């Protein structure tokens, strides 16, 4: 197989990229972006070799601890438990949270053979004891697996004298009421609050 066919084949490791898209990407890089293609090769190689998990929160980092865990100006009493590093990025972009994180790197999914020990839950308990956490926010996806994981963590942490919370469920910002599903509207009505203007 020649270098071009190998590149097209290798590009298919990217999520959502089939043969046709891979071919388009390869031809595009060869015709217009050789320098950036070479740069991508270097970045890929470095990241695949160097990026590991933060020893405190499990998030991706090239150091021993990630750049969130090493900052001193966050509230150590707050710990937000999320499924993936992408969730950390999303919450950080909201600028609404100033505590630390714990990244599960997955969720409990018996159908896929993923149990509590596969997503490092024992380490979570240790993390809570080590850092004097007072409140744990379970920011897990409102899916079956996410809710299963949430219930499991809730049971696990109950013996510790902790406040265990979850983000509010209600109307998403900017959405039109008529296009929302019944469950979201139901949750929003059940959790209604006094109007404060």
Residue pair 153/83 in contact (Cβ under 8 Å)? The answer is no
CB of 21 to a second copy, least distance (A): 8
* Helix orientation angle between 121-130 and 144-157, rounded to the nearest 10 degrees: 50
d(CA 104, CA 81): 7
**Least CB distance to a second copy at residue 185 (A):** 27
Minimum distance from residue 8 beta carbon to a second copy (Å): 9
Contacts with a second copy, residue ranges (CB under 8 A): 2-4, 6-7, 9-11, 13-16, 21, 23-31, 33-34, 36-51, 60-62, 67, 84-86, 89, 105
What single string gives the DSSP state of each residue in 37-103?
HHHHHHHHHHHHHH-EE-TTT--EESSSS-TTTT-SSSEEEEEEEESSHHHHHHHHHHT---EEEEE
Q: Which residues pair with 60 in a beta bridge?
A: 53
In the complex, least distance from residue 4 CB atom to a second copy, rounded to whole angstroms? 5
Give just the sign of the alpha carbon dihedral 11, 17, 20, 26. negative
Which residue lies nearer to a second copy by CB, 9 or 75? 9
The answer to whether the CB of 158 falls within 8 A of the CB of 130 is no
Q: How far is the CB of 87 from a second copy (least distance, A)?
A: 10
Residue 34 vs 160, nearer CB to a second copy: 34
- Residue with Cβ nearer a second copy (15 or 110): 15
Rounded to 10 deg, the angle between the 19-32 and 3-11 helix axes is 120
Q: Which residue, 4 or 168, is less far from a second copy as judged by CB?
A: 4
The least CB distance from residue 1 to a second copy, in Å, is 10
Q: Which is nearer to a second copy, 34 or 169 (CB)?
A: 34
Six token digits for residue 11: 């590009």
Which one, 51 or 168, has the nearer CB to a second copy?
51
């Amino acid at each position: 197989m020649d270098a071009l066919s190998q590149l097209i084949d290798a590009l298919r490791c990217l999520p959502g990229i089939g043969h046709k898209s891979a071919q388009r990407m390869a031809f595009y890089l060869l015709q217009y972006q050789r320098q950036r293609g070479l740069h991508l090769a270097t970045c890929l190689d470095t990241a695949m070799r160097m990026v590991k998990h933060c020893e405190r929160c499990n998030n991706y980092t090239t150091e021993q601890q990630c750049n969130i865990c090493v900052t001193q100006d966050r509230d150590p009493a707050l710990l937000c438990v999320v499924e993936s590093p992408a969730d950390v990025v999303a919450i950080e972009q909201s600028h609404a949270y100033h505590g630390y994180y714990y990244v599960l790197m997955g969720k409990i999914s018996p159908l896929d053979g993923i149990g509590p020990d596969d997503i490092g839950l024992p380490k979570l308990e240790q993390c809570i004891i080590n850092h004097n956490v007072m409140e744990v926010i379970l920011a897990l996806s409102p899916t079956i697996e996410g809710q299963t994981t949430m219930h499991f963590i809730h049971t696990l942490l109950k013996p510790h004298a902790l406040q265990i919370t979850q983000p509010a469920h209600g109307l998403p910002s900017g959405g039109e009421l008529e296009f929302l599903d019944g469950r979201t509207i139901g949750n929003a009505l059940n959790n209604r609050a006094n109007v404060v203007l």
